[in-house]
Amino acid sequence: MQQNVEILPEEPPPVEEEQKETQVSSQSDEQELKKLESLLEEALFGKKKEKTTTPVMYVLNSGGEQWFYGPKSRSMIRIPAGTQLVVADPEPDDDGRVLCYCDFGYIMVPEADISPLGYN
């Protein structure tokens, strides 16, 4: 019995490429260590704490109770005069109303009907 044996050509030995030394950072070791520590703290303890600003309180300028549109409930909500408001979105819509939050929920109030309450 004769076996068919394929003779494969020999592969040339792998050529060792010249390895170049690369510099990871030009910063000193202390600066790199401080940056790594800050990244580790942020990863372990959460995001950086940002300064929060107190929202400016506004008051509704009206002679009595008025009806305003509540976008969340898609209905009209009766709001008494002098109600304190927090402007959620200061950019007015096409009708000149701003989105405000009050004790009754979110409402759309004409920009002319609100004024800043101040810090008295």
Contacts of 32 (CB under 8 A, 6+ apart): 25
The bridge status of strand 84-89 relative to strand 97-102 is antiparallel
The answer, yes or no, to whether residue 71 has pLDDT greater than 60, is yes
Cα–Cα distance, 54 to 56 (Å, whole number)? 6
105: left (phi over 0), alpha (psi -120 to 50) or beta: left
Task: Look up residue 80 and give its two tokens.
Answer: 């008494």
Q: What pLDDT band is residue 119 in, cutting at 50, 70 and 90? A: low
Q: Which domains does the chain have, with CATH numbers?
A: 57-116 (2.30.30)
pLDDT digits (tens, 9 = 90+) for 10-47: 776 666 666 666 555 566 788 888 888 888 888 888 76
Residue pair 69/38 in contact by the 8 Å Cβ criterion: no
- Rounded Cα–Cα distance for residues 67 and 59 (Å): 15
pLDDT value at position 16?
66
Residue entry with tokens 């068919």: 4
